[in-house]
Chain A
Amino acid sequence: MLIYTVKRFFEMIIVFFLFLIISYLLFNAIPGNAFSSLLLNPLLPPETYQRTIELFGLDKPLFERVQLYIINFFKGDFGYSYIYYPRSPIEVIAERLPRTLMLFSIVNVIAFYSGFLVGKVLAWRRGSKSETWITIGSVFSYTVFYPWFALMMLWFFGYKMNWFPLGKFLVPEKWYDSPYSSDEIFYTLILFTTIGSFLLFLVFIFTRNIESLENRRNARIVGLLFLLVLASIYWSNGEASLKRFYAADIAFHMILPTFTVTLVAFAGTALLTRTTMMEVLKDDYILTARAKGLSQKRIRDRHAARTALLPVVTSFIFTIITIIDGSVLTESIFSWPGMGQLILEAVTREDIPLAMASFSFIGILALIAHFIADVSYAFLDPRIRVKADS
């Protein structure tokens, strides 16, 4: 298991270097020498002019420029953003990245979990009326033209029903005299979500060894309630009680985008789970499980769904990447100021340092996602674990 992980890690590093080189060459190929477009600005102070030439090695041949770029990357030096001039790309990304991560990690988790749950039940109820209709619905949301669908959702829930705000991630009026910046609130939210999920995970791990199924379920319910109580205590005490108002504002703005993207993203998982699980249900060990006198629910969840999970996880890896790409569309439609909008802005306005920095970050994120998925795949399937070790 350890050897496998280390091997994967080194592979990842090689892929990352390739990624850096190729992305540099691509930007280099943009017509009109995008790297020097900043230099055309007559207002540029001479020392910045000099520094830009030095940083990108604009007076050197291509090979040395690539080298320089990689070295600069590891120094964390991307120069200056052209649009947000004196700020560096890193500063801009540090502000935008949490917003995207927050929105899309929540979407991903909900979409994956609900898709898996729905697919599981669909396969189990094969042939029933509800199965037919939900499958048709899933196929619709899987194949729908996304920008149109997102706009329709915005029009219906935002404009017609007036339940949710039309875009943006906060109401500026509420924040005029706010003691906190929106970033601070975001960090608090992210920290809260992460710790909450981790504690929930711990509850599940610790209740694993309870032998009686009923006691195990009850212990989990108690754990969940306990966590909910903890959460409410956290938000009603100390500094958090002041932040609560602002956090709620952001959370409220997140509902509609989350809901929309989830609706589109969950269908793929649901349909795939349905198909793989129907295959698994034909296997002999399902018959064994029935012969053992296990309950229907347990056969479905523990035996069928658990094995059907493997291909679903694989497809999930690819969904992670498309969701980062898709964030360009989503963030434009819901005017969510995250990475997607930033990339669009940087590319259309030829802000090369910012564009390259954000592409590298997305590359890193994608690689990390792949890495986690690979390792968790080995964790899920003991057969892969053995192959990986030998």
Chain B
Amino acid sequence: MSKALLEVKNLSMHYDTMEGNVDAVKNISFEVNSGESFGLVGESGCGKTSVAMTLLQLQPDNSVITQGSIKLDGKELIGLSENDLRKVRWDSISIVFQGAMNAWNPVIKIGEQIREAMREHYPENTKQENMNKIIELFRMVGLDESTTDRYPHELSGGMKQRAVIALALSCDPKIIIADEPTTALDVVIQDQILNEIKKVQDLLGLSLIYISHDIAVIAEMTDKIAVMYAGSIVEMGPTKDVFKNPIHSYTRALLDSTPSIRGEKKKLKSLDGEPPSLINKIEGCSFAPRCPNRDTECNPSEHMRLVEVNPDHFADICSQGK
């Protein structure tokens, strides 16, 4: 196997708040190879976005990274100075944010906002070169070239999201993080945007980290998937394997709550209870209080720990008893 493009190891991060520490990311490790798409799925508030922000080192000021490393192409990102980080951002990793509506500055033209990033990373480019590139990208995501001269409020939600994708591609990044890029859009547009992302990814051979709470979308988009619960990864493996043979109780609950087009009709199951507040220190298995199988053979006092169950397929130790 070739060396991973992005390598996250034992990453832990918490937010320092008035009420105490919020453990948003707990001991997370994963790898993304070049050209691969990696999915991160989980409930709202389970720390998906915190992971994304930490990858770009854009986490809020009150966050503390307690351990771990993020290596991009063998280069450590944690602890880099702001100036060195600036060179990495967008040039190597770019991000498509949740809610494209607010990702654009309302008083600057779309084209200028994209060119601004290019100016920063390719200072020697002429205006014409930059413009050509933007128009090419716009064509790729299905936007008219006149969009460069528009202000954000003149665009529809879908157009803004397409433009955001073009923006994310403008500096030829190696990895794109897509953080719920379709949440604010209707289903038809959602599908178009997903196809657009996929097309672009194949075309340019990018790595993609796709973050979503929608397991169906993840199934469609990714090669590899990690399921997150309460700040930890509970199961990780090739998407096909995880869907066919889910090991962890939470993964199974997640899959049971999603309707399937094929196969027999069955009643959708929902999970009782709420995800735990991350502000309280959780001893042992964080999923145990909601776990439908908790009274079987597993041991709730055991800390979560990933174990390789099949080749490349990891799951939390809690489910090992079965």
Q: A173 in the interface, Cβ–Cβ < 8 Å?
A: no
Question: In the complex, which residues 272-310 of chain A have their Cβ closer than 8 Å to any Cβ of chain B?
Answer: 283-285, 287-296, 298, 302-303, 306-307, 310
| Distance of A214 Cα from B125 Cα, bound (Å) | 13
CB-CB under 8 A for A213 and B123, given A284-B103, A383-B153: yes
Interface string of B136-179 (1 = CB under 8 A from A): 00000000000000010110000000000001000000000000
Question: In the complex, which residues 97-122 of chain B have their Cβ closer than 8 Å to any Cβ of chain A?
Answer: 97, 99, 102-108, 115-117, 119-121
Q: B88 in the interface, Cβ–Cβ < 8 Å?
A: yes
- The reply to whether B86 and A295 contact each other, CB–CB distance below 8 Å, is yes
- The reply to whether A211 and B130 contact each other, CB–CB distance below 8 Å, is yes
Q: B305 in the interface, Cβ–Cβ < 8 Å?
A: no
Q: Whole-angstrom distance from the CB of B151 to the nearest CB of chain A?
A: 4
Interface string of B86-98 (1 = CB under 8 A from A): 1111110011010
- The reply to whether B120 and A293 contact each other, CB–CB distance below 8 Å, is yes
Collect the chain B residues with CB atoms within 8 Å of residue A383's CB: 106-107, 151, 153
- The reply to whether A292 and B89 contact each other, CB–CB distance below 8 Å, is yes
Q: A222 in the interface, Cβ–Cβ < 8 Å?
A: no
The residue that A283 contacts in the complex, of B82, B89, B102, B119, with Cβ under 8 A, is B102
The A interface, classified by DSSP as helix, strand, loop or mixed, is helix
CB-CB under 8 A for A294 and B86, given A213-B123, A302-B116, A383-B151: yes
The residue that B108 contacts in the complex, of A214, A292, A295, A306, with Cβ under 8 A, is A306
Most B CB contacts (10 A, CB to CB) among A288, A290, A298, A303 go to: A288
Q: B127 in the interface, Cβ–Cβ < 8 Å?
A: yes
- The reply to whether B116 and A293 contact each other, CB–CB distance below 8 Å, is no
Chain B interface residue count, Cβ-Cβ cutoff 8 angstroms? 37
Interface string of A194-220 (1 = CB under 8 A from B): 000000000000000101111000000
The B interface, classified by DSSP as helix, strand, loop or mixed, is mixed
Q: Whole-angstrom distance from the CB of B146 to the nearest CB of chain A?
A: 15
Collect the chain B residues with CB atoms within 8 Å of residue A287's CB: 58, 97
B127, closest chain A residue (CB): A211
CB-CB under 8 A for A293 and B153, given A285-B102, A285-B103, A287-B58: no
Collect the chain B residues with CB atoms within 8 Å of residue A209's CB: 127
- The reply to whether A293 and B107 contact each other, CB–CB distance below 8 Å, is no
CB-CB under 8 A for A306 and B89, given A211-B119, A291-B58: no
Most B CB contacts (10 A, CB to CB) among A211, A302, A303, A307 go to: A211
- The reply to whether A284 and B102 contact each other, CB–CB distance below 8 Å, is yes
| Distance of A306 Cα from B116 Cα, bound (Å) | 15
Most A CB contacts (10 A, CB to CB) among B87, B103, B105, B119 go to: B105
| Distance of A283 Cα from B104 Cα, bound (Å) | 10
| Distance of A148 Cα from B288 Cα, bound (Å) | 71
| Distance of A291 Cα from B82 Cα, bound (Å) | 11
Q: A34 in the interface, Cβ–Cβ < 8 Å?
A: no
The residue that A382 contacts in the complex, of B95, B125, B127, B151, with Cβ under 8 A, is B151
The residue that A293 contacts in the complex, of B91, B106, B115, B130, with Cβ under 8 A, is B91
A381, closest chain B residue (CB): B107
Q: A70 in the interface, Cβ–Cβ < 8 Å?
A: no
Q: A21 in the interface, Cβ–Cβ < 8 Å?
A: no
Q: Whole-angstrom distance from the CB of A386 to the nearest CB of chain B?
A: 7
B101, closest chain A residue (CB): A284
- The reply to whether A291 and B95 contact each other, CB–CB distance below 8 Å, is yes
Question: In the complex, which residues 295-354 of chain A have their Cβ closer than 8 Å to any Cβ of chain B?
Answer: 295-296, 298, 302-303, 306-307, 310
Collect the chain A residues with CB atoms within 8 Å of residue B127's CB: 209, 211
Question: In the complex, which residues 205-241 of chain A have their Cβ closer than 8 Å to any Cβ of chain B?
Answer: 209, 211-214
List 16 extra interface pairs beyond A211-B127, A284-B97, A285-B105, CB under 8 A. Answer: A211-B125, A212-B119, A212-B123, A213-B123, A284-B102, A287-B97, A288-B103, A289-B105, A290-B89, A292-B90, A293-B88, A294-B86, A295-B120, A302-B116, A307-B105, A382-B107
Q: Closest 5 A-B residue pairs measured CB to CB?
A: A284-B102, A293-B89, A292-B117, A293-B86, A382-B151
Chain B residues packing against A (C-beta within 8 Å): 56, 58, 82, 85-91, 94-95, 97, 99, 102-108, 115-117, 119-121, 123-127, 130, 151, 153-154, 167
